[in-house]
A and B are shown apart, each in its own frame.
Chain A
Amino acid sequence: MPDDLAIDVHGMTKRFGALTAVDHVDLAVRAGEICGFLGPNGSGKTTFIRMLCGLLRADEGRGTCLGYDVVTESETIKRHVGYMTQRFSFWDDLSIAENLDFVARMYCVRDRRQAVRETIERLGLTERRHQLAGQLSGGWKQRLALAACMIHQPKLLLLDEPTAGVDPKARREFWEEIHRLAGEGLTFLIATHYMDEAERCHRLAFILQGHLLVHGTATEVIARSHLVTWSVSGPGLVELAQRLRNSSGVEQAVSFGTMLHISGPDAEALERAIAPFRTKPYEWRRIDSGLEDVFIHFMSQSQDGVAS
């Protein structure tokens, strides 16, 4: 096993009664890498992350996290991993400073007071450090949570939808920070729905209904989909989209402002489908498929596979 892998797990499986929330997922993330963990709601992202940090016992699977066994050494893993829960899970009735102080004590952080003070300064919350965490706005809560789960200087951060409900500016700052930290050698596994965030990751893993569908860099993922996309502009796009959606060879017809993106997995079938409309005043152009097109493609493919 190469020792520059921060996460290296195989066959991770978790069942809740009859439901298999995570089904034999393999994942390898290199140290210093930002891995985006994508998938619609209920696809098993949270469950997978919880298994990595010992919050849920895996029914099957084995592997390592920072070189420690995920099954037998979860207590050690907890010491070196920072986990940011999907829902804000710090204590609303403790102040910012008290929350950080508590976390620092729990991890037996050396020079605790100084670590807490520095964290508060870095957050720019020195003035508001006595404010109760429950009174913070969504964006500040996320920043506090991130700062708190990093106070013990973990080597691996597991972030579960860290930017849900955060405004675009705060999101941008958040990602700047993540990249800066990755530059310092920290490894990230970040669950998200946002495609613009996916594009900021070094590597992506897409999970659906507990199955890992694709894993690789954004370009690899797009290339592997073999999805062909055309963009069209002109009048009456809504009507055009309606008609194209029903023709064979077309998988998606999605509006993007004054444009329509038409995609399908088979280039020839797609061209046949759009041929009748390749007239004036429509302007057609072949473009690269976006990540979003690709993920919707994977999702619809997998739904076809599942007889339901």
Chain B
Amino acid sequence: MRRRYEFSPRRFWAIVVKEFIQMRRDRLTFVMMISMPLMQLILFGYAINSDPRHLPAGVLLGDHGPQARTLLHAISNSTYFNFVRELDTEQEAREAIARGEIQFILNIPENFTRDLLRGDRPTLLIEADGTDPAAIGNAVSAARLLLNTAMRHDFQGPLDYLAAQRDAIDLRIQTLYNPEGITRYNIVPGLMGVVLTMTMIMITGLGITRERERGTMENLLSMPAHPAEVLIGKIIPYILLGYIQVALILGAAYGLFHVPMVGSLALLLAATFVFIVAHLAMGITFSTLAKNQLQAVQMAYFFFLPSIMLSGFMFPFRGMPRWAQDIGEILPLTHFLRITRGILLKGNGLPEVWPQLWPIALFAALALTIGVKRYRRTLD
């Protein structure tokens, strides 16, 4: 007779209670987990600048005349802009920029060529996504310069009267979402993901390898416990800890840095749950590989470094080489940064968040499967 043992809520609860007591006793770790977000808030208060190019842009082409084409070419040749799509309506343009598909909308109005030739100074409107000011700053300056120089060779022969005239085109830049270009608005929401990435993997890895290192795992395994009871029971307190960190950062973002919070906080917290689970699962997987706590910490760093470097937190994502972007797309932090910035600064809802949320959920599912598969019920 072979009986199967099902998940027992009582044993699950026993683990949760034990973990909470242990977390409470381990003051040092607790204090570190709380002070880490605060420390990072201060450290990353300063932005890191760089010069990203080939930023995706869309164009609302109201005029198909030769001058409009020349202008488009010139802007494209500056290498700052990469026109990925032509947009038909303003509505479509707004949606594309909200989803982060493009960072600029170049708006060439109707009658652009006619007005230019007449000397009526037609308006050229560039709308930019201001959530990552470091990324768009240089591109905007380049566009300004271009209109004054690069266009000039086009104004020859019969058009040289235009060349003589300064500012033949009226360039207007409109920054969406973060009009003052405040870098903190970009950094502070991003910090939430960074802190969670660091701490959630590490604390789970430590929590499980510690049991093994101290020999208490042998005791735990000799009890009739289902692996799910142990694993889920262990991560519940960590999820709570993650939300404490989130509350701290959001509180600081709102109270100290005055970061606007346009979107739904509930949606943000729900997305955060998926993100936390992804990293706890990663921590479980690492703990099945690590022989001791030191190795668990090293593995957490091993994952943390590319996360922080390639996710678009350190450097503007579009400024990175192709291969780095490809790696970045796998990392949950990359998507989570887009989600937090999107919700807080752009007021994105579920339709815009979803394309970034499912890759995190997929990552979480994979990591959890590997972690639970590798988690051993014996000491073999």
Q: How far is the CA of A107 from the CA of B8 in the complex (A)?
A: 11
28 A–B pairs (Cβ distance < 8 Å), ordered by A:
A53-B222, A55-B221, A55-B378, A55-B379, A57-B380, A72-B2, A73-B1, A75-B5, A78-B223, A78-B224, A79-B224, A85-B218, A85-B219, A85-B222, A87-B215, A88-B215, A89-B218, A93-B26, A98-B21, A102-B14, A102-B17, A103-B223, A105-B14, A106-B11, A106-B224, A107-B223, A108-B10, A108-B11
A-side interface residues toward B, CB under 8 Å?
Answer: 50, 53-57, 72-73, 75-76, 78-79, 83, 85, 87-94, 98, 102-103, 105-108, 132
Distance in Å from the Cβ of A80 to the closest Cβ of chain B? 9
Interface residues of B in 325-380 (CB under 8 A from A): 378-380
Among A73, A76, A93, the one with the most B-chain Cβ atoms within 10 Å of its Cβ is A93
Provide the residues of chain A in CB contact with B221, threshold 8 Å: 55
Which listed residue (A57, A91, A106) contacts B225, Cβ 8 A?
Answer: A106
Provide the residues of chain A in CB contact with B380, threshold 8 Å: 56-57
Does B303 sit at the interface, judged by CB under 8 A? Answer: no
Provide the residues of chain B in CB contact with A88, threshold 8 Å: 215
Does B64 sit at the interface, judged by CB under 8 A? Answer: no
The 0/1 profile, CB within 8 Å of A marked 1, for residues 46-59 of chain B is 00000000000000
Provide the residues of chain B in CB contact with A89, threshold 8 Å: 214-216, 218-219
B-side interface residues toward A, CB under 8 Å?
Answer: 1-3, 5, 8, 10-11, 13-14, 17-18, 21-22, 25-26, 214-216, 218-219, 221-225, 378-380
> Which residue of A has the minimal Cβ distance to B377?
A54
Which listed residue (B14, B22, B214, B215) contacts A106, Cβ 8 A?
Answer: B14
Provide the residues of chain B in CB contact with A55, threshold 8 Å: 218, 221-222, 378-379
Which listed residue (A87, A93, A107) contacts B224, Cβ 8 A?
Answer: A107
Provide the residues of chain A in CB contact with B1, threshold 8 Å: 73
> Which residue of B has the minimal Cβ distance to A88?
B215
Considering the complex of A and B, which 8 residue pairs feature the smallest CB-CB distances, nearest first? A105-B14, A89-B219, A78-B224, A83-B222, A106-B223, A93-B25, A89-B215, A87-B215
> Which residue of B has the minimal Cβ distance to A77?
B224
Provide the residues of chain B in CB contact with A107, threshold 8 Å: 223-224
Q: How far is the CA of A210 from the CA of B225 in the complex (A)?
A: 30
Among B5, B11, B21, B219, the one with the most A-chain Cβ atoms within 10 Å of its Cβ is B219
Q: How far is the CA of A79 from the CA of B224 in the complex (A)?
A: 6
Instruction: Indicate if the CB atoms of B218 and A91 lie closer than 8 Å.
Output: no
Distance in Å from the Cβ of B206 to the closest Cβ of chain A? 13
> Which residue of B has the minimal Cβ distance to A103?
B223
Provide the residues of chain A in CB contact with B26, threshold 8 Å: 93
Q: How far is the CA of A91 from the CA of B221 in the complex (A)?
A: 14
Instruction: Indicate if the CB atoms of A85 and B215 lie closer than 8 Å.
Output: yes
Distance in Å from the Cβ of A228 to the closest Cβ of chain B? 43
Provide the residues of chain B in CB contact with A53, threshold 8 Å: 222
Q: How far is the CA of A90 from the CA of B379 in the complex (A)?
A: 17
Instruction: Indicate if the CB atoms of A91 and B22 lie closer than 8 Å.
Output: yes
Provide the residues of chain B in CB contact with A132, threshold 8 Å: 25
Instruction: Indicate if the CB atoms of B219 and A93 lie closer than 8 Å.
Output: no
State whether A54 and B11 are in contact (beta carbons under 8 Å apart), knowing that A78-B224, A98-B21, A106-B225 are contacts in the complex: no
State whether A50 and B2 are in contact (beta carbons under 8 Å apart), knowing that A89-B216, A92-B214 are contacts in the complex: no
Instruction: Indicate if the CB atoms of B11 and A90 lie closer than 8 Å.
Output: no
Q: How far is the CA of A183 from the CA of B256 in the complex (A)?
A: 71
Q: How far is the CA of A56 from the CA of B26 in the complex (A)?
A: 31
Provide the residues of chain B in CB contact with A106, threshold 8 Å: 11, 14, 223-225
Which listed residue (B3, B10, B223) contacts A76, Cβ 8 A?
Answer: B3
> Which residue of A has the minimal Cβ distance to B230?
A106
> Which residue of B has the minimal Cβ distance to A69?
B2
Instruction: Indicate if the CB atoms of A73 and B224 lie closer than 8 Å.
Output: no
Q: How far is the CA of A107 from the CA of B5 in the complex (A)?
A: 13
State whether A90 and B223 are in contact (beta carbons under 8 Å apart), knowing that A102-B18, A105-B17 are contacts in the complex: no
Provide the residues of chain B in CB contact with A73, threshold 8 Å: 1-3
Q: How far is the CA of A92 from the CA of B1 in the complex (A)?
A: 38
Instruction: Indicate if the CB atoms of B10 and A50 lie closer than 8 Å.
Output: no
Instruction: Indicate if the CB atoms of B378 and A54 lie closer than 8 Å.
Output: yes
Q: How far is the CA of A169 from the CA of B10 in the complex (A)?
A: 39
Provide the residues of chain A in CB contact with B8, threshold 8 Å: 108
Instruction: Indicate if the CB atoms of A56 and B378 lie closer than 8 Å.
Output: yes
> Which residue of B has the minimal Cβ distance to A78?
B224
Q: How far is the CA of A303 from the CA of B225 in the complex (A)?
A: 42
Provide the residues of chain A in CB contact with B378, threshold 8 Å: 54-57
Q: How far is the CA of A55 from the CA of B222 in the complex (A)?
A: 6
Among B21, B224, B380, the one with the most A-chain Cβ atoms within 10 Å of its Cβ is B224
Distance in Å from the Cβ of B236 to the closest Cβ of chain A? 15
Q: A57-B380, A73-B1, A102-B18 are in contact. List 5 more A-B contacts (CB 8 A).
A: A53-B222, A75-B3, A75-B5, A75-B224, A78-B222
Q: How far is the CA of A186 from the CA of B211 in the complex (A)?
A: 30
Distance in Å from the Cβ of B6 to the closest Cβ of chain A? 11
Q: How far is the CA of A87 from the CA of B217 in the complex (A)?
A: 12
State whether A56 and B379 are in contact (beta carbons under 8 Å apart), knowing that A78-B223, A106-B224 are contacts in the complex: yes
Q: How far is the CA of A265 from the CA of B218 in the complex (A)?
A: 42
